[in-house]
Chain A
Amino acid sequence: MSARFLLKKLVQLVPVLFAVSALSFLLLNLLPGDPTVAIHGPTATQESRTRLRHELDLDKPLPARYATWLGHSVTGDLGKSYVSNQPTTEALKQRLPVSLELLLLSQLLALAVAIPLAILAALRPNRLLDRVSTGSAFGLLAIPNFMLGVLLIYLFAVRLHLFPATGYTRFTENPAENLRSLVLPAVTLGAAELAVYLRLLRTDLIATLQEDFITMAKAKGLPTWRILLRHALRPSTFSLVTVAGLNLGRLIGGAFVVEYLFALPGIGALTVESIFKRDYIVVQGTVLLVAVAYVLANFCVDLFYGFLDPRVRHARA
């Protein structure tokens, strides 16, 4: 992969990051509703509110505020919560591991089920296993995640008492409990991803299996499993990997419904709570983090894709 290619991509990245940060800032600062009222309550005096406005720089012009905010953000200072006075970066640091763990578990689950199923389905397309799994995937996609979460809680927590309905234990405290508390949320989150991965990989595999080089591999007398794993799976996984990578970026803050439902102290839950409390600063910080994470994930996936597929790699070199 050439340095020039890398540079070009980096250069494209910067304006996007700028635009994203500007949008985060603008969005929340242009909305109606006076934060001072939200913080001090409706009985606050004019005086105290004016003082607060000055403290929070709300009386300065917009571009100046954006510049200050951006400057602080880059150095890691995302302001302090209006409500709890806790530095946003602190809160994010605390909550990031929770979200990441949930995210990783859900993707692992999804892949662990999707890959073998897709292989089996592609081996015998349009037979029973294939039809059943494709149909189920289709059905799974139709279930909104909050609905699935409620259903899983009902079945496994309320009825069967297998897993806790809500709550979270840190990994460092009790690894077993930690995993137990994450099973239902991970399944909820992973279900939709599972469906997407399954459909994608199955179709890709079926197309690959019809290629001439598969017939050639057969003619060499190689065993089926080897042909599948070594020859068929490899080209088919490219799109899978890119989608999985993009999902990682998307889901860092996007799992908030699941976090809310299962009372997990993650970034998504923080975002939701802050929105309810009109805690602008924190919301700005989390939106910025999530958006930047997504853009960076996109960027990495793009680079990685060029690295994975040797045809692309050499074309760009």
Chain B
Amino acid sequence: MRNLLWSATLATSALVALSTHLVRADEELKIGVVAAESGSFVSAGNTIVAAANLATKQINEAGGIKIGGKTYKIKLYIRDNRTDVNVTIAAARELVDDIGVKAIWGTETLDFSVSMAKITAAAKVLQFSGNSSLGAVLDDKSVAPGGWLHYTFQTEPQEWQRSGSTAKGVLTLLTPLMPHPPKHSIVFVGNDATGQYLSSHYVKALEAEGQQVDLVKYPPDTTDFSPLLTRIKGMNPDIVHFWYNGDSTLTAFPQALKLDVAPAYFLFGVDPGIYQERQLKSDKPVALSCVPVCWGAAPNPAVQDYFKKYFELGAAKGPQSSVSLLYYDYFFMYAKALEEVGSLDNPDAVVDAILKMKYQGVVSPVPLTFNPHHQVTFATEVSAVQPGTSDQFKAAVEQPPAAPPPGDPGG
């Protein structure tokens, strides 16, 4: 009997030891996501969450991340910023101080991301933010070791790059469909901070392509664009470029068609999938672009596969679904950097590893790299829809220019 008890005790101890070992084999890598799951930025915010969930699922199902002889599974801590900068700050504070995340993904807008960076930098927590306007603050000083953006990465290309890539794509696709080469472009943009910043670069990019450009701004939240579109019609444009806000563009564009405003249109931030779903149809040539790659006319099998899995997880098909690709690839880049460094506790080395890395992601056929200002570079896809159809698209992916156009300060 005593032997039996002794054997049972040994067996139990062995099981406990084994299970402890197994638990240790699946350690947790805590990653935070701060995004709008409510409030007016919810369309963009939900895509960040959806991309994070998909990347985490794939990394964990592939066995996790091997760091210094241990295997880590990602555990996401998702916080709704309610489209409120104060909630964003509180969420970042909680994730960094209380939960102890090693990295944070988010947010939808520059102001929120900058507020968060001041918290993440102090705690040496990496931050991946898909805001092209971060370029205004990412400079030699801010990204240097000890700088307040040393741990922040801009996962959207610089605005002059995106604008250059887009302008080239739009003119390449629309010109052959028009009776004469376009000379006069009107950029129609929402009058908010993002719209002003983005359009300033796009206007320069169009001018660099030989266009005479007028800028017409509309108040944010406009739903009836007919008075402004009638004004634009009186300016006799060759192309009206609906810039920046996909939702507003989807409101304005059908009104423009009914008022017969221009001989050609460009819809920024409108996915061909949405164009098709809404059965939009124009006798005039129309170009569309997505930030950064469209789900409705995906340019390569990797992107098609990504969106198939993305929507299978229950994410909504919206004008901003493609924004998720500003966040997805960087989970894998971060994981790879951690594996290279071999430690979770050396964020400076992880930053260096990411800066040296060339990573073949989904978002671009060209490997992703970050420049010394922690900004990524890749092209923006533009599609043209065959006039009179809702589902016939031709895509162009023009690589960004090597330098900012004349008059564009870069950043």
* A and B: interacting chains: no
What is B's interface to A at a CB cutoff of 8 Å?
Answer: none
What is A's interface to B at a CB cutoff of 8 Å?
Answer: none
